[in-house]
Structure 1
Amino acid sequence: AGGAAAADKSGVTPVPRSWSRNAYRDVEIAMGAGSDSLTSLSWSPVSNHIVLGSWDQTVRAFEVGPGPRGGPTANPVVNTSLGGAVLDVEFNDDGTTVFAAVADKTVQMWNVQTGAVQQVGAHETAVRSAKWLSGHNLLATAGWDCMVHYWDTRASAPAASVAMPERIYSMSVSKVADFPL
């Protein structure tokens, strides 16, 4: 249990299944000096990478693999700083892009491979949640401005918007439903 697994054709070593079933062998992540509380976490859909959003305006990517004592460990890969507290993070389908909901009212798109960061949306107040709708190639964002916006990341304006009766504090999407929200 907890041994190293073989790499697949892409060169990615999968996390052993036993780790995901053992709630007491948590992955310990050393954040370093100056870091603040974590706000969100997203697993890559295609590799052993996680990204973490934080109050210190940073998105950090880690690779999870076998540790020295047989349990999982997370090694830092890359990070980027954004213009406000990062309230939510979400990978796209191929694991190359991370979307961030930021307290500075922006929605940011971070290419993890190149390091490029681009604003792809905005709200009137803090953006609380960002979720990728894989079957629709849209990003859904929810903010404390009582709005849900759907973004085609190639366009500057929302593809659609829905007004809600109250601020949105959390949002989830279905990966299998015809109507994901």
Structure 2
Amino acid sequence: MSFGGFGSAAVTPAASRAAADYDVPPDVPDSIQDIAWSPTANVLAAGSWDNHVRCWEVQQQGANFQAVARAQFAHKGPVLCTAFSGDGSTVFSGSCDKTAMMWQLGGNSQGQQIAQHDQPIRSIQHIAQANCVVTGSWDKTVKYWDTRSPQPQATVQLSDRVYALDVSYPLMVVATADKQIHCFDLKKPSQIYAVIVSCLIYISHLIIVLSAKLPNYQGISVGKFNKTGEIFAYATSYDWHKGVEHYNPQARNVIRLHHVDAADMTVKAKK
């Protein structure tokens, strides 16, 4: 592609590229907030604003997919986060109803409540090495849970509301609304060992051109790679960045699967 002037090279439109991706059936009735892949198989879970967690089994042959709905679970409020256990047998979810639930795939669809916060639960992860679940909430706390007990193993007070959390044992990082990143050594889970002030809020690391003339195309609300990196699942949903007046109830909320090939991951030579 040449950057010498507009129109100097043909570019495949984003809409055409997206059309080649696979739509996971059925569409979801409301915005899709989170996606999680099983660490052991091509099983996909999604949490959405219609209060539900949905699971699909994905069959893949090269760039061709078939997704079959396998389970559906209900919260009493919008679902903000999802995660799998290390063996892939269990789905965890956190909700605006201030609870986290545990669902056994192929088991009881009622699930089991495993956590409680004072505000919505924004992030959840299973820590297989510690045999516990960690939750991060808008009540400004991180809590660790043994799924057999209604009381947390430990509670850590943070500086602000939790908006993101990730674990790569023994490291856990938690991002809060005041632009701080709290770092934990999970061998000492009750102690924050470092706090980093994020500069990302002030610097543009990504820029995308979106056309206002394509009102039927939704923004991408979340995306995740499967365990091998061969499949990228992404959800198209309205993210409410323009407020309720721009909400289109006819627009689709759908998860799409993209086959990741060598061309996607190869660094292009500079011209």
Q: Tell me which interval the TM-score lies in, with the shorter structure as reference length.
A: 0.7 to 0.9
Residue 26 of structure 1: how far off its partner (Å)? 4.1
Aligned pairs (5 A) from 1:100-139: 100-114=93-107, 115-139=109-133
Shift of 1:89: 0.3
Who is 2:89 aligned against?
96
Deviation at 1:27, TM superposition (A): 4.1
Q: Does 2:33 align with 1:56? A: no
Given that 1:28 and 1:73 are in contact with CA atoms closer than 8 Å, whether structure 2 keeps it comes out as: no
Whether the 8 Å CA contact 1:106–1:127 is kept in 2: the answer is yes
Q: Which runs of 5 or more structure 1 residues have no equivalent in the other structure?
A: 1-22
Within 5 Å, give how 1:22-171 maps onto structure 2. 26-32=21-27, 35-66=29-60, 70-114=63-107, 115-171=109-165
SS of corresponding position for 1:140: strand
Give per-residue Cα distances to partners, 1:43-80, cap 9 Å, x unaligned: 1111111101111111001011137x952232211111
Larger of the two Rg values belongs to structure:
2
TM-score for the superposition, normalised by structure 2: 0.54
1 CA distance for matches of 2:81 and 2:33?
A: 7
Partners of 1:147 and 1:97 in 2: CA distance: 24
Cα drift, residue 93 of structure 1: 1.1
Is the alpha carbon distance of 1:177 and 1:165 closer, same or farther for their aligned partners in structure 2, counting shifts above 3 Å?
closer
**Secondary structure at 1:170 match in 2:** strand
- 1:6 aligned partner: none
User: Higher helix fraction: Structure 1 or Structure 2?
Assistant: 2
AA at the equivalent of 2:98? K
For 1:161 and 1:26, locate their aligned partners in 2 and report how far apart those are by CA, in whole Å.
Answer: 42
| Structure 2 counterpart of 1:113, one-letter code | G
What fraction of aligned residue pairs are identical, expressed as a percent?
Answer: 33
1:15 aligns with none
Structure 1 pair 27/92, CA: closer, same or farther in 2 (3 Å)?
farther
Aligned ranges 1:9-20 → 2 under 5 Å: none
